[in-house]
Amino acid sequence: MSSPALQSLVALSARIGRDLNLVQAGGGNTSLKENGTLWVKASGKWLARAAEEDMFLPVPMTDIASNMAASRESFAEYRTRSGTVLRPSVETTMHAVLPHRVVVHVHSVAAIAWSARSDGPESIRSPFDGLRWTWISYIHPGLSLARRIEEELPGKPDVLLLGNHGLVVAGQDCDMAERLLHDVERRLAMNAQPAPPADKQALERLTRRTQWSPAEDDEVHALATNIRSCKIAAGGTMYPDHCVYLGPASATVRAGESIDQAVERYMTRYNYRPSVLLVEGKGVITTKDLNRAGRELLLCLKRVVERIPPGVPPTYLEDWQVAKLMNWDAEKYRISIAQAQS
């Protein structure tokens, strides 16, 4: 039998998980501290299914303290209330170090768009006026991020904007955390840049008799028909879940190129086979087996880049940071769980 507080966390998690502007695929995580235990989402589980799946793990705060003292990144597996054995979120230590009872971490489209701007730390001051907040420049998720957050705790922040990553809000109960989340989202809201319509006929011709097809979600074509968006997406990796789910940067098909030529050019640069191609000025094509997780992250990318204002350069993760994410055992585990649910 779960406590009322844990039931509230489950309901909150399901609500935010159903909003693709806040959470995509197995990203994002939530937690509740109760009687010396951190109830935290299991790694790779989809918050959108929190009301149907038992996905919260009881991790003793003493275990977390021991892991941090020993500089251990990985956690043992724990059992959900129904007995399923899973690993806790890769961000468990981040949730633990914050003193608030409820912590919500989302990969908000608006927050990522602000956090991936070259002027982010300065420009965010005005929208966040009146909040207790701090900016955390990009640092590898997990223990390193938790320790960096600990350095900011004397300022008692309730809001963390994680550079090239996402958003954290915290409160003493779920209602407080949810109200703060919606307030922050309202403050960060920006209009999307317009884009021409897709050239569906050109995409059909290009993909005929191949393992590729025009993107299933019409909205994402703007990622390629808006040339600035296409350039930003191809310029590098702006946040972790993009490379984890879709690979580094975005592959493009230039004018006059075939699909095979575009794939070979991308693989020469990244040693990774793409599942998405941005056909410059025409639209987006994907492999026919692209799963739901990949589609949701593709939608996220489109919504992020179209919210970076003209004249403001984006910031990207370094190649070594991308490689570290893609080869991290914790991320491989998370993706294996998330993709099994796609």
Nearest Cα to Cα of residue 225 among 286, 311, 306: 306
Let me know: does 273 contact 246? Beta carbons within 8 Å. Answer: no
* Residue 317 counted as domain residue: no
At 330 the pLDDT is 64
User: What integer pLDDT is reported at residue 341 of this predicted model?
Assistant: 63
Distance CA 104, CA 175 (A): 11
Instruction: Specify if 341 maps to a domain.
Output: no
Given the structure tokens 């209330």, which residue do they identify? 81
CA distances from 176 to 9, 129, 185, 257 (A): 12, 18, 14, 52
292-305 and 227-234 are packed helices; what angle lies between their axes, rounded to 10 degrees? Answer: 120
Domain count, the chain: 2
Contact criterion met (CB below 8 Å) for 258 and 209: no
Q: Tell me the sheet residues that pair with 235.
A: none
Same-domain check for residues 57 and 116: yes
Q: Extract the tokens encoding 325.
A: 């994410």
Query: What is the Cα–Cα distance from 300 to 279, expressed in whole angstroms?
Result: 18
Task: At 186, list the tokens.
Answer: 């309202």
Question: Which phi-psi region, left, alpha or beta, contains residue 302 (left: φ > 0; alpha: ψ -120 to 50)?
Answer: alpha
Helix (H) or strand (E) holding 284: strand 283-287
Q: What is the pLDDT along the chain (342 residues), one digit of tens a residue?
A: 589 999 999 999 999 999 999 999 999 999 999 999 999 999 999 999 999 999 999 999 999 999 999 999 888 999 999 999 999 999 999 999 999 999 999 999 999 999 999 999 999 999 999 999 999 999 999 999 999 999 999 999 999 999 999 999 999 999 999 999 999 999 999 999 999 999 999 999 999 999 999 999 999 999 999 999 999 999 999 999 999 999 999 999 999 999 999 999 999 999 999 999 999 999 999 999 999 999 999 999 999 999 999 999 999 999 999 999 999 776 666 656 655 666
The last residue of one of the domains, among 147, 166, 188, is 188
Note whether residue 26 is domain-resident: yes
Helix 292-305 to helix 329-340 angle (10° resolution) is 110
Bin 156: left if φ > 0, else alpha if -120 < ψ < 50, else beta. Answer: left
pLDDT attached to residue 160: 98
Same domain, 149 and 274: no
Host domain of residue 21 = 4-188
Report yes or no on 315 lying in a domain.
no
> Which amino acid is located at 222 in the chain?
A
Contact between residue 9 and residue 56 where contact means Cβ atoms under 8 Å apart: yes
- Which residues lie below 8 Å from residue 244, measured CB to CB, with a gap of 6+? 325, 326, 331, 334, 335
Considering 135, 161, 188, which residue would you say is the last residue of a domain? 188
